[in-house]
Structure 1
Amino acid sequence: MSSSRSGFITGGTWCVDHNMVLPRWPEEETATRILSANAQGGGAGCNFAVDIRRLAPEIPVATVGLCGEDPDGRLLRGVATDHGIDISRFHVDPALRTHRTMAFTSAENGRRTHIFEADASDHLTPDHFDFDGVTARMLHLGLPGTHARLDGPWQGDPSGWVSVLKKARAAGLRTNMEVMSIPRDDLRRLILPCLPHLDYLVVNDYEIGAFADLQTVQGGATSVPGVIAALRRVMELGSMEIAVAHFPGGAVALDRSGGVQSHPSTRFPQTEVKGTNGAGDAFAAGFFCGHHRGVALRDCLAYAHAAAAASLRSVDTYGAVESLEACLALAARTGWRDALELGAA
């Protein structure tokens, strides 16, 4: 990344996650007791920003978002200011209700189910994004599929996401997009037009397979050669310098020259997993903290895995994220899985 710029600006989803732990996900027509509940910030704009500030407090972070003038909106602005995030571009509209998500986690297996009401997020448009005077190195943008206005065409562009990415690049920012695991056809429709306007892409095995229209996960198992093949195809469709796909066993990174780097994940004990909410955000934040610090690509993957593992200790998205040094120390204590078998991609 250019040394003349510093830090990140996030944009897109800021929501309040109403986190609830259930004994197990219930069957229809039954009742289930909530074991614990809390409310925290969530969404791509929030999670990445907070994670960066927790992982590497020396890195400045600003954000663009939209919320209502309601208790949830005040909670989100409080989360941002408590973490030293610049909210001068964070918009408040009293006519809107802040995006909220009911985030259920099963105590039985740690799996999550999200049910959301977007409202404010649905009203976010490219006009809310003003990059004048921004000195950050990179825009981290998301989440397609949760913003009605951004998901649709905008002033001749295929979507508002494309318009925002083009504005960011024109302002001298590098770009990265966070996505979520919505149906494959929706992912392709929303993300493929964005690929020519991205400098980086960090996603999971399912998502990279959807973009490439390749099968990367079968029977719950990740095909590492399949992931590499998908990364190569997606790299041909976009302008990314680096594309990364992560999965439970590790991660693979592909650079523009075709070079492949990989790193296994940690052996974090399943018995200590409180929830997986925000693990993907923590992975991306760890990766880009390493990239911002100028470490080697494989070490960026190690940073990413360490941050993601640390996040698993809390049911919310960022409550257990600590400094990079603490996350790496945790990874060293739990150990790393065996090296990935890359196979023939």
Structure 2
Amino acid sequence: MKIKSSSNRSGLLGGGNWIIDLVKIIDVYPQREQLANIRSQSQGTGGAPYNVLIDLAKMGAPFPLFAAGLVGDDSLGREILQDCRDNKIDTKFLDVTKKAPTSYTDVMTEKGCGHRTFFHARGANALWHGQDLDFSKTKARIFHLGYLLLLDAMDAPDAKYGTKAARLLAAAQNAGLKTSVDVVSEDSDRFAKIVNPALKHVDYCILNEIEAGKTTGFKIRQADGKLDTVALRHAAGALLQQGVREIVVIHFPEGGFARTRMGEDVWQSSLRLPANYILGTAGAGDAFCAGTLFGLHEGWDLQRCLLLGVCAAAASLAHPTCTEGMKSLNACLALAKKYGLRPKMDIVD
């Protein structure tokens, strides 16, 4: 399937969480009251719009990039604003507040396996309601919002739309933008209450298998850890039934899957990366999302969109932070030739 795009609009507007990640590589995740050693520390980007926009900038996206959200009036907030300017990301919708500090996350990454544990300070992101975001003043083609479940004001109830996020997404669609959402992975029962109302106003829903399962109730991982491809497809179908207008994309370590409203299924295996290649998994999901949105914006066929998604994710895995490992478009795609793809997934009909 080749995606049709509106010719009179260009660019991606990313709104939601703006976070500074403080990534600490530790030797082991400790039991309570035990010690772990911090082997190294680095600082990087965090949050759906921040990661996706920086990734797109590094890939050399041939379209404008716009930021929307809220940062604190502090040094971390100023770093974010400067980083956006350095990467030619328009910040006219990225506001500053004195009411809360800039959000940050301590990311504890276990050396070797790359498993992550997050200690998050919500900060200014919790206050962003998006009411000042005037979609009539942007020519962007896509509005990407994330993360649902981690934006307190956006997750708040709305009498008409269910949530404030759903209201904002509806406003974007009414203004002529395509909408995209991402969700944070959390261990809770809030998914149906918070995520489902937004899906009625979403064109592109891009989630990982955990989030898709939590939202729809399907168990996508079997007891032995193997991907249940039947449950995966059922979850994608359920997300479409809940209102997603065009495409559901679900990503997972083994690759990615897309289902369109027309019933087309597309599978894409991830790259066969050597064991010592992965230095951290933080940001890989957003990198996949950025690659997929790159292709959707440009009207590529879905197979090519997903291929760039897994290649962008592979680039991200080469660095402990979310976006420092990102490469140019051609360099990302070259990773598939260098390392090859995993064997095609065992698809059960």
Fold-level similarity (TM above 0.5): yes
One-letter amino acid of the counterpart of residue 67, structure 2: T
220, 223, 242: which one aligns with 2:228: 223
226, 234, 237: which one aligns with 2:239: 234
Q: Secondary structure at the match of 2:25?
A: strand
One-letter amino acid of the counterpart of residue 30, structure 1: Q
Q: CA deviation at 1:270?
A: 2.2
Query: Matches of 1:184 and 1:228 in 2, distance apart?
Result: 23
Q: CA deviation at 1:95?
A: 2.8
Matches within 5 A, 1:75-154: 75-154=79-158
One-letter amino acid of the counterpart of residue 108, structure 1: G
One-letter amino acid of the counterpart of residue 323, structure 1: S
CA contact under 8 A between 2:127 and 2:153: conserved in structure 1? Answer: yes
Q: CA deviation at 1:275?
A: 0.3
CA contact under 8 A between 2:61 and 2:294: conserved in structure 1? Answer: no
One-letter amino acid of the counterpart of residue 135, structure 2: F
CA contact under 8 A between 1:126 and 1:163: conserved in structure 2? Answer: no
Matches within 5 A, 1:185-224: 185-219=189-223, 220-224=225-229
Please list the CA deviations of residues 93-130 of structure 1 after superposition, one character each: whole Å capped at 9, or x if unmatched: 12321111111101031001111111201111131322
CA contact under 8 A between 1:55 and 1:289: conserved in structure 2? Answer: no
Please list the CA deviations of residues 177-227 of structure 1 after superposition, one character each: whole Å capped at 9, or x if unmatched: 011111252222211111110001111111112222111112322111210
Structure 1 length-normalised TM: 0.97
Q: 1:239 to 1:147 in 2, by over 3 A?
A: closer
**Which deviates the most, 219-228 or 43-52?**
219-228
CA contact under 8 A between 2:69 and 2:130: conserved in structure 1? Answer: no
Q: CA deviation at 1:303?
A: 0.7
Q: CA deviation at 1:156?
A: 3.8
The corresponding residue for 1:3 is 7
Amino-acid identity (%): 32
CA contact under 8 A between 2:287 and 2:313: conserved in structure 1? Answer: yes
The corresponding residue for 1:63 is 67
Query: Matches of 1:186 and 1:278 in 2, distance apart?
Result: 23
The corresponding residue for 2:318 is 313
CA RMSD of aligned residues (A): 1.3
The corresponding residue for 1:74 is 78
The corresponding residue for 2:251 is 246
Q: Secondary structure at the match of 1:318?
A: coil
Greater than 6 Å deviation, 4+ residue runs: none
Q: Secondary structure at the match of 1:128?
A: coil
The corresponding residue for 2:290 is 285
The corresponding residue for 2:58 is 54
Q: CA deviation at 1:251?
A: 1.3
CA contact under 8 A between 2:103 and 2:121: conserved in structure 1? Answer: yes
CA contact under 8 A between 2:22 and 2:107: conserved in structure 1? Answer: yes
CA contact under 8 A between 1:56 and 1:289: conserved in structure 2? Answer: no
Query: Matches of 2:294 and 2:147 in 1, distance apart?
Result: 20
One-letter amino acid of the counterpart of residue 325, structure 1: N
Aligned residue pair count:
344
Query: Matches of 1:226 and 1:111 in 2, distance apart?
Result: 25
Q: Secondary structure at the match of 1:17?
A: strand
Q: CA deviation at 1:263?
A: 1.1
Query: Matches of 1:168 and 1:131 in 2, distance apart?
Result: 6
Query: Matches of 2:337 and 2:276 in 1, distance apart?
Result: 18
Alignment partner of 1:173 is 2:177 = yes
Q: CA deviation at 1:286?
A: 0.5
Unaligned runs of 5+ in 2: none
One-letter amino acid of the counterpart of residue 281, structure 1: D
Q: Secondary structure at the match of 2:176?
A: coil
One-letter amino acid of the counterpart of residue 304, structure 1: G
Alignment partner of 1:330 is 2:335 = yes
**Which deviates the most, 275-284 or 233-242?**
233-242
CA contact under 8 A between 1:41 and 1:75: conserved in structure 2? Answer: no
Query: Matches of 1:44 and 1:340 in 2, distance apart?
Result: 28
Unaligned runs of 5+ in 1: none
One-letter amino acid of the counterpart of residue 279, structure 2: K
Q: CA deviation at 1:237?
A: 1.1
The corresponding residue for 1:36 is 40
The corresponding residue for 1:162 is 166
Query: Matches of 1:324 and 1:189 in 2, distance apart?
Result: 37
Q: Secondary structure at the match of 2:135?
A: coil
Q: CA deviation at 1:32?
A: 2.0
Please list the CA deviations of residues 217-272 of structure 1 after superposition, one character each: whole Å capped at 9, or x if unmatched: 12322111210111112111113201111111121110111111111111011211
Structure 2 length-normalised TM: 0.95
Q: CA deviation at 1:155?
A: 5.7
CA contact under 8 A between 2:142 and 2:297: conserved in structure 1? Answer: no
**Which deviates the most, 26-35 or 324-333?**
26-35
